[in-house]
Amino acid sequence: MTAHPDDVDFGAAGTVAAFTGSGIEVAYCIVTDGEAGSDDPAVTPAELARLRRAEQRAAAAEVGVREVTFLGYPDGRVESGLALRRDVTRVVRAFRPQLVLAPSPERWWDRIYASHPDHLAAGEAATCAVYPDARNPFAHPELLGERLGPHTVGELWLMASPEGNVAVEITGTFERKIAALLRHRSQIKDPDGVVARLRAGAHAAAEHAGMPEGALAEVFRRVLTG
């Protein structure tokens, strides 16, 4: 679950490709349509929303994800209130995952650009949906009327966490991550520079995790919740 189209591709598309490549089913839940993600006055928010939804679906297909849900919350104004918690809980109960991957709700002062307010709010709502909402039959009782019974998620993995504790090697899936990212043409203005930065970051992450020379990795904060 992420706040905007492209968030999951920057933060976790290599890991997602590794998951789907091993036969694991993955679905995306995007809180906003990303309609505030442009400084071009000629593009209306509605036009940009349509474009970014299409870009995200195309990016998802690059890493083997077929199901993408957009919740339609306003870009730049996400708040982790009960409404968002309920809507994320609805998606969790419908898909019934073993693992939920979401933005960290903790601000990372050394990488402030990763701690967009929408990311923090989405991460808080996802955390609350995983524990306790999705497993509690008395949380959001209207979902029972939709035949969405409780579900316990075993693990929560947080992107852009200041305290990562699990590294996933993506050496073999890095090119698929890049293919997914490059589908976000409305956002990627300097493809070569973006790829170079991501490769350098993935290399540093792998080195810090003690992986072999030349390996690439993505890092998350793993929280056991089961």
Integer-rounded Cα Rg, in Å, for the chain is 17
The domain locations on the chain are 7-224
pLDDT at 55: 98
The answer for residues whose C-beta is within 8 angstroms of residue 23's C-beta and 6 or more apart is none
- Confidence at 121, pLDDT banded by 50, 70, 90: very high
The highest-level CATH class for domain 7-224 is alpha beta
What is the average per-residue pLDDT within 18-34? 98
For residue 200, which amino acid is it? A
Look at residue 187 in the predicted model and tell me its pLDDT. 93
Write down the mean pLDDT value for the chain.
Answer: 96
Residue with tokens 């903790």: 106
CA-nearest of 158, 164, 156 to 208 is: 164
Single pTM value for the model: 0.95
b/e burial code for range 168-183 (CB count within 10 A of at least 16 → b) = bbbbebbebbbbbbbb
CA–CA dist 27, 130 (Å, integer): 15
pLDDT value, residue 113:
85
Phi, psi for 212 (deg, rounded to 5): -60, 155
CA distance 145 to 210: 49
